[in-house]
Structures are given as structure tokens and as C-alpha cells.
Amino acid sequence: MSIYQTIQDFVDLALKNGAIEAMDDIYLRNQLLHFLGLNNWEQPKISENKNQENSLLLMEQLLDIARENHRFDETESEFFEAALMNFITPRPSQINHDFWGKYKKSPKNATDYFYHLAREINQVKTRDIAKNIAFVHPTKYGDLEITINLSKPEKDPKAIAAAKAQKNSVYPKCALCLENEGLYGGSNHPARSNHRVIRMELNGANWDFQYSPYAYYNEHSIVFNEKHQPMKINRQAFENLLDFLDVFPHYMIGSNADLPIVGGSILTHDHYQAGRHTFPMMKASIRTQIQLENYPDIRAGIVNWPMSVMRLKSNNKAELLTASTEILEKWRHYNDESLEITAVTVDGVQHHTITPIASKNKEGYIIDLVLRDNNTSLEFPDGIFHPHQELHHIKKENIGLIEVMGLAILPPRLKTELKEVEKYLINEPNEINEIHLPWAKQLRESQKINPEDVHEAVQQAIGAVFEKVLRDAGVFKDNEEGQAAFYKFIDFINN
């Protein structure tokens, strides 16, 4: 295929996506020629394969042209790439117009349109996401989902040095702000030229809906407040979650906790995570039915899960909101010294909150309330209800919303480190990292591992570690003492 055919196919993609109209064909072609470092044009012959090229393949071919013409430095490649894809990306006003037009047919029709577009314009980085390593680990709670996250590219030293040399900008205030839409990026801000957001309203406030560039699950989306304000778990948050389900009933939605250690990576901007995925925790059964005395319309129970989860179901939205809010407030004042559960320490700091997850089906609304405690101690300085020290070689980071629901997001370093663990287990020469040695010795002593089985054995051992991570994060442990204490908390709610 000629250079000119590639450019023309890219222009045709812009037309198909609604980024331009037919009259804009020559205009966009000329803009691309300059962008790529070209100053000539030859009308390509009409090809039988015209417009059949994948948008990402066209992108790569055009990037090669620009690279040959020295249009960007490799440290700027992600920014140039996003700016290139912006040529085939409709303006925000057009996307919003089309989205809400399709919504009139069905919510799914609207999200299907936006998700397909987000992948085609590389806002959702499907090629990078495909690099992730994923497998499942069977447990008595159901199959846990394990991923080693390889999608976010590692910054090379030159790029890091270049970013440090730039003057830090306070615009946008964070990576979630609406002001990222269309931003070229640089310094500490990612490339967002091709980034698009759907405007919407939740409970009378302006919110925005976008797909996550490095999605961790199907149709992984972010719902964020148009105002840059801190996350807060309260009645308003519960209302927002259920209101979102009224708009998009085919999605689930949840929020990270609003405290350090048990919260997510961005607590400075109020946001939720949604998507079209049934997480392991959502599939988990009810361990024990419970009665909430003041809420006769609610079917409630303790979920069979390594963390401490109450599930509430009801068609009565108002009662569900009131019950969830009461449970949150009761938990914020609940203490059990025998289990090191302390709501407020002597310095007046609040340590209890909830990670809520909501979904909807024919029976009504479902909300899972995961009890969180971010206290630390001399024995557990990183968190009493946080992965304990012996698990840090695999997972040390916060246990946020996605992992609470049974999907592990593990660091990319494990890809190479675990290969060395495999070699160690079958007595091959290796360079095993010392942090894995106690665990690897235990594995080798506990089971006979053959070369043909070693990869699967290590993956399942990783899954077992993640199960322990979730157990560590549970405030009421899955044992006789812990469950008895959970029932005491239920009594506290009902009194």
C-alpha cells in the first residue's frame, strides 16, 4: 500500500467516525500531510481493500512515516500518537450528540457506540491491554481473577528525565479532570488529544463518563464529578451509584473507599468505576441471611467472601439508601477491641468507611457494602487490614475497589520475576529475587513440581496469595471468631 493510500484510508476513517464530513476530505488530507512531514500528494488508485485496514494498523503506518520525517522525538511518541488519532476522532459535542441520540433507542446502544469508537480511536488501548497476563484461581468463594498488568508502558529513562526537566503545571488539577479532554499532555500529564467524555447528570449535579485507557475489565469506565473535589462516601454517594444504574442498568458501578490505605490511587477527585463485567464477588453466594429490623423491604445477607461484605437487595430505592447510610454511620462508630477494630483513634482520626458496589437486575437494586478499616499498628505498620508483610513480594499496593471484587491487579515486575521462580522450583539455574525466596522454598517443599506443570503451579500459587490478600483485608475474618463478631455488628445495626 502506498503512503497516499494509507493517508486516504485514514481520512476515510475520519469520515466514517463522524469526525469530518465529505466536504472536509481535502482539508483533513492537507492537515495530515503537514503533520506527517510530507508536502506532496498523489491520488491513490481505488483499492478493493479500501477502508478495510484496521485503524491501529493505519496508525502504525502513519507513525512510521512521521518517524522517518523526524516529526517527533521518541520520548514524545505517546503524545504524537494521540494527536494523530485525534484526526479521526469527532469533537466532544458531536460524540455527545450521537451518544444521547442512540440512547433514545437503548442505553446499551449508546454505550456500544461509544465503546466501539473509543477502541477505534485508541482511547481504549486494546493492543496494550492484550499484553496483560490473565488467569483464574478456584477457591471456596468462587474463581478469583488474576491479572499481571503489562498494559501501561514503562517510561524509559530519557522520557522520565525530560518530564522532570519541564516546569510542573497545575492545569489540569489531576488526571481525572474534564480539562484533560483533548489535552496534548506532557510533564506529569498523560497524552489525551484523542480523549473524549460523555456529559451526564447524577442527582442534579454535572458528572462525566469515559472509558479507561488501560481497561482492567470489559467496558471499564470512569464516572467523575465535573468539579475537582475529594472523594466522599456518604448518602449522596449511594444516591449517585443508584442514579447511574437508572441511566445505565446494564452496567455495574462502585466506588473506592475514601480513606488512605483502603482507598484507591486518586482520592482527590470524586469518581466511581463502572463497566459491563460480573466480578467474582458479585457471583458469590449469601453465606447467612440477615434481617435488618427497620427495613422490611430489604433482603439482606452476609456474602460468602474473604472480606466482610453485606449485600442488600430491594426495589425500594429510598429504603435501600437509608439502610446503606445507617450501616455506614454505624460502622463509622463501631469498635471491637478484641479484633483491633477501632473506629476513631485518640487523635480524633476516622478509620472506618465502606467500599460500595451497586448493580441492578429484574429483582431490583443490589448494593454490596464492604466494611473497611485503615488502622495501623506496630506489628502491621502498612495496615492491620491490608496485605501483611509476607505477601508484599506479590502485592503491597492498596486493595481498592477492583481487587475488593476479586480481580487482582498485580505489578508488571512479576512477569520476569516469576520466570525465575519457575526455574528455581525445577532446579534450573536462576536469578530468583530474594523477596520471593521464602515463598518459593515453601512451594518446593510442599509439593512435587514437574517442568511441564511448573507454570500452572506458580500461577495457582499466585492466586492463593491473592486469596490471602483478601483475607488480610477483611475486618471480620472467615472463621468462627470473626463471624461471631460480624453478627455482633449486625445486632449493633438493629439496636
200-252 pLDDT, tens digit per residue, is 999 999 999 999 999 999 999 999 999 999 999 999 999 999 999 999 999 99
Return d(Cα 454, Cα 216) in angstroms, integer. 26
* β-bridge mates for residue 355, sequence order: 370
Residue 137's beta-bridge partner residues? 144
pLDDT of 416: 97
Q: Which residues pair with 171 in a beta bridge?
A: none
pLDDT in tens, 287-309: 999 999 999 999 999 999 999 99
CA distance 66 to 89: 19
Amino acid letter, residue 93 = S
Radius of gyration of the chain (CA): 25
Confidence band for 153, pLDDT divided at 50, 70 and 90:
low
Q: What is the largest distance, in Å, between two alpha-carbon atoms of the chain?
A: 80
Region 372-382: what's the mean pLDDT? 96
- CB-CB neighbours of 57 under 10 Å: 12
Read off the pLDDT band of 195 (50, 70, 90): very high
d(CA 121, CA 56) in angstroms, rounded, equals 8
pTM of the model: 0.94
Of the two residues 471 and 166, the one the predictor is more confident about is 471
Whether 283 shows a pLDDT value over 90: the answer reads: yes
- Taking residues 364-375, report their average pLDDT: 98
Q: Where are the domains of the chain?
A: 3-71
For residues 427 and 338, what is the distance between their CA atoms, to the nearest angstrom? 45
